[in-house]
Amino acid sequence: MEKIKVGILGATGSVGQKFIELLSGHPWFEIYELAASAKSAGKKYGDAVNWIMNSPLDEKIKNITVKVCEPGLESRLLFSALDSKVAGELETYFAQEGYCVISNARNHRFDPDVPLIIPEVNSEHLELLEKQNFGGGCIVTNPNCSTIGAVTAIKPMDDLFGVEELNVVTMQAVSGGGYPGVPSLDIVGNILPFIPGEEEKMETEPLKILGDFNGEKIIDAKIKISAQCNRVPVIDGHTETAQVKFKKKPRGVNELIDAINNFRGEPQKLNLPGAPERPLIYLDQPNAPQPRIHSGYGNGMSVVVGRLRECGLFDYKFVVLSHNTVRGAAGNTILIAELMKEKGILAKYLK
Ligand SMILES: NC(=O)c1ccc[n+]([C@@H]2O[C@H](COP(=O)([O-])OP(=O)(O)OC[C@H]3O[C@@H](n4cnc5c(N)ncnc54)[C@H](OP(=O)(O)O)[C@@H]3O)[C@@H](O)[C@H]2O)c1
């Protein structure tokens, strides 16, 4: 099978680099073009990037000349890791020129005709693309990195018992702020109790993701959410403590843990290359999950839950951990593309 050529917009940043790492050896997709700002364009990728991944940069990728983010790219499938200051306009422009853009940036997440997708949670929202009108192309978005962890964890509980209220406190890794991110003097031995815009995303994105598509538009889920977001001195892996109140009361902790462990989504049914065997993993140890130890589970694509117990204020509380640049960004995007290919949605944009 001939591989599908993909371009990465914002290829030099922290998420862009993760795309390159995850796409190495991908059975369906081949990195064909890399694009970034005018500062990087025209340089060999190896000279333009400050490579911060754990695996070495492939020689072939090193020698690709970075392009500007302008239509004219040959790859019709584009993964966007663009800075949100420029992503909105550039992604619209690419979609209008017929490209399929799957984005990590926040800009289009709330466009009524743009799906906001976690493949295991709301793959049916891809039907919204039929309502989209960007010319010949399309835009699909990835949720915020902390939203992905929290929503994946509550999805099986919501299906069974209906989540009514969610209170969540995040401890977010520094890689979530991009490269170079927050200055070391601000974060080493410290906690920053404010991440601009993050609480608003956490309080609104889950409503769209868990909402119902009625054939015309998405009707937001009715869940009351309160979020507090903190930056902590951890490199990768966002940890969140969550409390939930249900409409229907579960019989006990074990019913919820079983729901978590048995949860599978469309990517698992379709056996997609990037799908972890288990999108949610429950750990019994009383001191788990921990970002340094557990964020790589399922190659960074499994969301890990622990400490599920009764709560004196809400019904239950638990801890959730997800890898912010893999499941929270590049890995989730690649899984969306795989899902679109396997469901026959991608083909029309590749012509
Ligand atoms: N880091 C995470 O865990 C995470 C998780 C979920 C979502 N996101 C989102 O994903 C996106 C990328 O995040 P990141 O952490 O990788 O950020 P980053 O490290 O700051 O990288 C930003 C990228 O955008 C490019 N860029 C900046 N200005 C540009 C312009 N005018 N034209 C074209 N390209 C431009 C940069 O290229 P140059 O190097 O040439 O400047 C770089 O490649 C952001 O929207 C972010 O909010 C990040």
Runs of H (alpha helix) within 211-325: 253-262, 266-269, 291-294
CA distance 213 to 263: 21
**DSSP calls for 295-335:** TTGGGGTSEEEEEEEE-SSSSEEEEEEE-TTIIIIIHHHHH
- Percent of the chain at pLDDT > 70 equals 100
Specify the number of domains making up the chain. 2
pLDDT confidence bin for 282, thresholds 50/70/90? very high
CA distance 129 to 256: 33
CA distance 347 to 350: 5
Amino acid at 101: V
Pocket test for ligand 1, best of 67, 73, 82, 324 (most atoms within 8 A of CB): 82
The pLDDT of residue 184:
97
Q: What is the pLDDT of residues 11-60, one digit of tens each?
A: 999 999 999 999 999 999 999 999 999 999 999 999 999 999 999 999 99
What atom of ligand 1 comes closest to residue 325's alpha carbon?
3
For residues 276-297, give the mean pLDDT: 98
Statement to judge: residues 271 and 171 lie in one domain: yes
Say whether 153 sits in a helix, a strand or coil: helix
**DSSP calls for 58-75:** PHHHHTSBPEESSTT-S-
145 annotated active-site: yes
CA distance 284 to 289: 9
CA distance 146 to 200: 12
40 lines ligand 1 (CB under 6 A): yes
CA distance 277 to 281: 10
Q: Phi, psi (5° rounding) for residue 311?
A: -120, 140
238 annotated active-site: yes
Written as six digits, the tokens of 38 are 């005018």
**Residue showing tokens 């090193």:** 62
Statement to judge: residues 231 and 248 lie in one domain: yes
Statement to judge: residues 88 and 184 lie in one domain: no
Cα of 318 vs centre of ligand 1, distance in Å, is 31
Q: What is the pLDDT of residues 216-253, one digit of tens each?
A: 999 999 999 999 999 999 999 999 999 999 999 999 99
- Please give the DSSP secondary-structure letter assigned to residue 285: S
Lowest mean pLDDT among 71-75, 152-156, 309-313, 334-338: 71-75
Q: What CATH number did the domain enclosing 268 receive?
A: 3.30.360.10
Pocket test for ligand 1, best of 9, 12, 14, 15 (most atoms within 8 A of CB): 15
Statement to judge: residues 33 and 109 lie in one domain: yes
**DSSP calls for 110-178:** T-TTS-B--HHHHGGGGGGGGG--BTTBEEEEPPPHHHHHHHHHHHHHHHHH-EEEEEEEEEE-GGGG-
C-beta of residue 317 within 8 angstroms of C-beta of residue 311: yes
CA distance 143 to 336: 12
**Residue showing tokens 């902590």:** 232
Cα of 250 vs centre of ligand 1, distance in Å, is 42
If you take atom 48 of ligand 1, which residue's CA is the nearest one? Answer: 176
145 lines ligand 1 (CB under 6 A): yes
CA distance 328 to 330: 7
C-beta of residue 14 within 8 angstroms of C-beta of residue 54: no
Cα of 12 vs centre of ligand 1, distance in Å, is 8
Statement to judge: residues 139 and 160 lie in one domain: no
Statement to judge: residues 113 and 203 lie in one domain: no
Cα of 239 vs centre of ligand 1, distance in Å, is 22
Cα of 336 vs centre of ligand 1, distance in Å, is 19
Q: What CATH number did the domain enclosing 101 receive?
A: 3.40.50.720
Element (H, E) at 30: strand 29-36
Q: What is the pLDDT of residues 20-34, one digit of tens each?
A: 999 999 999 999 999
Query: In 10 A of CB 115, how many CB atoms?
Result: 28
Statement to judge: residues 294 and 341 lie in one domain: no
**Residue showing tokens 């990590």:** 104
Structural domain span for residue 346: 4-144+330-350
Statement to judge: residues 182 and 140 lie in one domain: no
Q: What is the pLDDT of residues 134-166, one digit of tens each?
A: 989 999 999 999 999 999 999 999 999 999 999
Of 108, 125, 238, 323, the catalytic one is 238
Statement to judge: residues 163 and 291 lie in one domain: yes
Cα of 140 vs centre of ligand 1, distance in Å, is 17
148 lines ligand 1 (CB under 6 A): no
Residue 273 neighbours by CB under 8 Å, 6+ apart: 26, 27, 28, 338
Statement to judge: residues 335 and 218 lie in one domain: no
Of 69, 100, 138, 145, the catalytic one is 145
Residue 217 neighbours by CB under 8 Å, 6+ apart: 112, 128, 131
Q: Phi, psi (5° rounding) for residue 34?
A: -125, 135
Statement to judge: residues 120 and 154 lie in one domain: no
If you take atom 26 of ligand 1, which residue's CA is the nearest one? Answer: 37
126 lines ligand 1 (CB under 6 A): no
Residue 144 neighbours by CB under 8 Å, 6+ apart: 106, 109, 198, 201, 202, 205, 328
Statement to judge: residues 268 and 223 lie in one domain: yes
